[in-house]
Amino acid sequence: MKEQTHKSPFVILDMPPKQENLHVPGPYTRSPSLSPRANPAAEPVTLTINGKEVKVPPGTLVIEAAKQAGIEIPSYCYYPGLTLQGACRMCLVAIEKMPKLQTACTTVVASGMVVHTETEEVKNARKAMLEFLLTNHPLDCPVCDKGGECELQDAVFRYGAAETRFMESKLHHEEKQFSNLVYYDWPRCILCYRCVRVCDEGLDVNAYGIGFRGAHSEIIPNQGEKLECEECGMCIDICPVGALTSGTYRYKTRPWELTYTGTICNHCGDGCKTTLAIRNNVIIRANNRDHSGSNGEFLCVKGRFGWDFVNHDQRLTAPLIRKNGRQETSTWEEALPMVVERLTAVIKEHGPSSVAVIGSNRTTNEENYLLGRFARTVLGTNNLDHHRTADFSSLVGALTAADADGRYATIEDIAVASSILVVGNDPTHQHPFIAYQIRQAVRSHDAHLYLLNSQEIKLQRQAKQVVTVAAGGEAESIRALAGKSSTVSDDLGTLQENLRKESGTIIIFGDEIRGSDVTTLVQWGLTLPGQTRFVALGDYANSRGAADMGLLPDVLPGYGSLADSTACAQIESAWGAKIPAVSGRNIRSILQGVESGEIKALLVFGSNPVKTFSLPKEHLGKLAFLMVAELFPTETSEAADVVLPATSFAEKSGTVTNTCGQVQVLKKTMRKAGTRSDLEILLALARLMGHPWSYRTADDVLREIIAHVPGYAIALPNLLVGRAVQTQPAGTPPALASTDLVFSSKDSLFTSGTVSRYSWALNSVDEAKKPHGHIF
Amino acid sequence: MLSDSLLKKFDQLIARYPLKRSAMVPLLLYAQDEVGHVSEEVIAEVARRVEVRPIEVVEVIGYYSMLHRHPVGKYNVQVCTNISCMLRGADEVFEHCCKKLGIKNKQTTPDGLFSLEEVECLGACCGAPAMQINYDFYENLTPEKFDALIEELKKKEPRSKM
């Protein structure tokens, strides 16, 4: 017997070192994109599918060409937008002059190609593939979470592979919990790699892999038995079968028992469309079920799981009134007249300038519009502001001043841009969908991404050039680029050079750029070649709408200046009332007024200034009257004389405007007993104060906005069919009074102001405990 | 920590391929020879050097039966039960191996001497049924042949407890 060896018999041969000029894929992905791309600009190719003549651009896949002709070819591993896999073999079709059946998902069309998708041979092949897929797949459809919306179930129903020729018993592995939100059931998995690819290519997290081989292959998470990722749940949504299931939805209901309503997510400012699924007046699930809207199937962890605050048992459901120093549960019938009585008394004694109003980043355009009208015409004060998370006003002012048309980029534009410059912000955390769009642009359209940031952010992986600046140095760098500063670093010089070679850049900027720096950025940006477009990044669902609707002391709805008598006259004619001439206080000045005692009464709608502005709570004690309309008890509401329980985004109708200025419809999906929307509250207060406005619904207000707010003359039908309709604001708002008025909350992927504190899902994942800005 | 000579070998190997990730399998094999199995440390180091995410290294390890993420016995017995071997009685041989060693598939004897594993095709169909102990092949197996081999290996161990 020969000696046992314990060393590998492989030897290193003397080979030449690798050549440096070989192609290495650019931005890292597991599978460098080899997918063919259709070229819509080229002469179309004509082919025949099932006897139908189809004209498509060259580079189109047969499966997509068939879709255009209205012919469905079943597929699992193929997913539009992801790299090609060719793993499931479900899309086999017969192509004349090709010897064997071909996969429609990897075959590119050719002129004169003749394709048959429904021959006996093809049908038999599909049936056989299904038989293979069902080898170990349990036939537990009646109790499976995916039953009723399962792509495998649908295909078996169509092709009838109910019988199996395998005699062996099925392999089984126990179900695994990858995280509180993601579960994996091995036997149901058909190894289509969709989850692996979407996590890698779409989210750039790469949390999944395929472990082991053959019949024992399984999806494995990145941390042994657990996932560490952005917890977006895209893998669950994209899974064609019931292998990956959602921790918040699984085994609660059947999909056909739910009522579905398409609405807009209420967290960040990207305005993703989401479908809320309701049963018995409770939200059970959110996903963008029909893939409508600009986000398609995309939702981040907040959009997919962060709605559960709506059902939280600490929601305020009855007005609270302070009696003998304690807030006691009351009724609307008692609370509203009390608000009116106290307000009227303060105005009578100290004048309207002693009253101030703070608005919200999440309420609808209609509510914001009415809040402005309420403050200016019913209360008679311009002391009106909100927590500004981006300087939209300066952007509008700068673009109007430069007389530049078509300079607002839509969120769809970002995905097909050829060049993108991101200044400040961390879109991965603060604007997950915009980050997704940026990655799409780089991956699918070879866009060049440039970053100018003081911190390390995840998008660096996609960037062509990263310019890292000192903390708070973004604005200074912009001034340098614009030639307003003598200190231009080499990096900035290169950035300038690179951008001058581009043919149209989208400039996306965060709260780091505000006031006159926005003007500088815009003026410099407009000197770049091609059509430069701009996006300002505001934090929340309707941060943009709050600015557009004039929740600002010196700016009217539509960015007219309060000092501009023509702009004033236009709004006054709509309101049938005078806007007070006395200039108003901004939010910092309002809070100082509270401290100094000059502000006697404060109305707060959906905002928490105690936390946001680090306002000492005892200052609120100096107020003669404080009213707060909120979903939950907050640090501010605890000091209030009256707390009104407001409705959440799921319980009201209206419109919201995303950070790119696109208006979308918010639909009422459920009711919450005891609550009232801000719109209803404002209508009631105005009526009680002697202003019986004629609006009956949010639609009435929207019509007035469309008719009277500059830039909002949008086509109502487009809005009603669910499109994101871009506004074209133009106006000459006054310059930003002070830069400390604009600052972002810097939410992470797992936080969203007050409401995220009441979300079980967002707080249940371990990733939420990671330090701020953690890169997954 | 991995030895300097191993890290030097890593550098040499990576330099041979146009894409760094192509060097992954040889890197893992050499590292396993030194460490005894592919440890978490090895995974992290290899991933870093060939510029992939650790999970992709884990995928590769799972695919190949020669790579182990956990320590195995001194003699790693891998019995092929694929089609050619199966037709020539591999199932009986494997069953016998279990009995002889007193362990089941993917287990190690308490003295740490033997590990047993049922593997896919070893590429030794001409000598089916076949098995591999560490890097050596044994062909045309029978239960008797297996017993003799095991006894011989045990004898070579100075302080065998079996």
pLDDT tens sequence across A504-532 = 999 999 999 999 999 999 999 999 999 99
pLDDT tens for the 162 residues of chain B, in order: 789 999 999 999 999 998 899 999 999 999 999 999 999 999 999 999 999 999 999 999 999 988 999 999 999 999 999 999 999 999 999 999 999 999 999 999 999 999 999 998 999 999 999 999 988 999 999 999 999 999 999 998 876 454
Pick from A8, A23, A221: which is nearest to B33 by CB?
Answer: A8
Could you say which of A537, A571, A589 is where a domain stops? A537
Going by C-alpha positions, the residue among A331, A336, A315, A352 that lies closest to residue A627 is A336
Q: Work out the minimum CA distance from B18 to partner chain A, whole angstroms.
A: 5
Structure tokens at B123: 């590429």
Q: Helix, strand or coil for residue A173?
A: coil
Residue A39 — very low, low, confident or very high, per pLDDT cuts 50/70/90?
confident
Task: Mark whether A650 and A705 lie in a shared domain.
Answer: yes
Q: Is the dihedral of CA A611, A615, A621, A626 positive or negative?
A: negative
Q: Which residues fall within 8 angstroms of residue A760, CB to CB, at 6 or more apart?
A: A308
What average pLDDT is seen over chain A?
Answer: 92
Alpha-carbon distance values, B58 to A213, A217, B40, B78 (Å): 12, 13, 9, 20
On the 0-12 / 13-18 / 19+ scale of CB atoms within 10 A, B116 is buried
Q: How large is the ipTM?
A: 0.84
- B55, B60, B136, B146: which to substitute to probe chain A, counting the most A Cβ within 10 Å? B55
Query: What do you get for the CA distance between the two ends of chain B, in Å?
Result: 33
pLDDT of A2 strictly over 90:
no
Beta strands in A402-552 (DSSP E): 419-423, 448-453, 465-468, 505-509, 533-536
Whether residue A469 is contained in a domain is answered as: yes
* B interface residues, A as partner, C-beta within 8 Å: 9, 12-13, 15-19, 26, 29-30, 33, 51-56, 58-59, 62-63, 75, 120, 133-136, 149, 152-153, 156
Which among A613, A615, A620, A614 has a CA at the least distance from the CA of A638?
A620
Domain membership of residue A682 (yes or no) is: yes
Residue type, A143: V
User: Does A602 lie in the same domain as A498?
Assistant: no
Asked if residue A255 and residue A190 are part of one domain, the reply reads yes
CA–CA dist A642, A333 (Å, integer) = 13
CB contact under 8 A, B55 and A208: yes
Within-domain flag for A2: no
Residue A636 lies in a domain: yes
* Chain A residues in contact with chain B using a Cβ-Cβ cutoff of 8 Å: 1-2, 4-10, 12, 15, 17-19, 22-24, 28, 30, 206-214, 220-222
Three-class DSSP category at A431: coil
In a domain, A357, yes or no: yes
Does residue A4 lie within any of the structural domains?
no
What's the CA gap between B93 and B85, in Å, rounded?
Answer: 10
**In this structure, is residue A37 part of a structural domain?**
no
Give the percent of chain A with pLDDT over 90: 87
| A703/A639 same-domain check | yes
CA distance B152 to chain A (A): 9
Substitution target in A18, A21, A203 with the highest count of B β-carbons within 10 Å is A18
Last residue of a domain, one of A115, A133, A151: A133
Q: Of A279, A311, A343, at which residue does a domain stop?
A: A311
User: Closest Cα to residue A549, out of A660, A356, A409, A705?
Assistant: A705
Do A154 and A116 belong to one domain? no
Question: Is A734 found in the same domain as A592?
Answer: yes
Confidence category of residue A40, pLDDT binned at 50, 70, 90: confident
> A146 and A241 share a domain?
yes
By Cβ distance, the residue of A6, A12, A213 closest to B134 is A6
For residue A155, give its domain range.
141-311
Question: In the structure, what pLDDT confidence band is assigned to residue A18 with cuts at 50, 70 and 90?
Answer: very low
Please name which of A98, A737, A80, A132 lies closest in space to residue A393, comparing C-alpha atoms: A737
Q: What's the number of domains chain A is made of? A: 4
Residues A193, A236 share a domain:
yes
CB A679 within 8 A of CB A665: no
Closest CA to A664 of A494, A453, A433, A477: A433
What is the rounded distance in angstroms from the CA atom of residue B151 to the CA atom of residue A564?
101
- Which pair of tokens denotes residue A529? 């070649």
pLDDT of A172 > 60? The answer is yes
In three state form, how does the secondary structure of A726-761 look?
ECCCCCCCCCCCCHHHECCCCCCCCCEHHHHHCCHH
Indicate which CATH number applies to the domain containing A98.
3.10.20.740
A322/A329 Cα distance (integer angstroms)? 9
The values of phi and psi at residue B38, to 5°, are -90, 100
pLDDT at res. B16: 92
A112 & A240 share domain: no
A265 or A17: whose pLDDT is higher? A265
Read off the CATH number of the domain in which A296 is found: 3.30.70.20
- Yes or no, beta carbons of B15 and A6 under 8 Å apart: no
Q: Which of A171, A195, A196, A213 to mutate to test the interface with B (most CBs of B within 10 A)?
A: A213
| Cβ-based contacts of B133 with chain A (< 8 Å) | 4
Spatial separation of the C-alpha atoms in residues A750 and A11, rounded to whole Å: 50
Contacts of A224 (CB under 8 A, 6+ apart): none
Domains of chain B with bracketed CATH: 4-63 (1.10.10), 75-156 (3.40.30.10)
Residues A222 and A348 in one domain: no
Decide: A545 and A264 in contact? Cβ < 8 Å: no
Instruction: Please report the pLDDT score of residue A22 as a whole number.
Output: 43
Asked whether residue A458 is assigned to any structural domain, the reply reads: yes
**Shared domain check, A265 and A172:** yes
Whether A290 and A331 map to the same domain: the answer is no
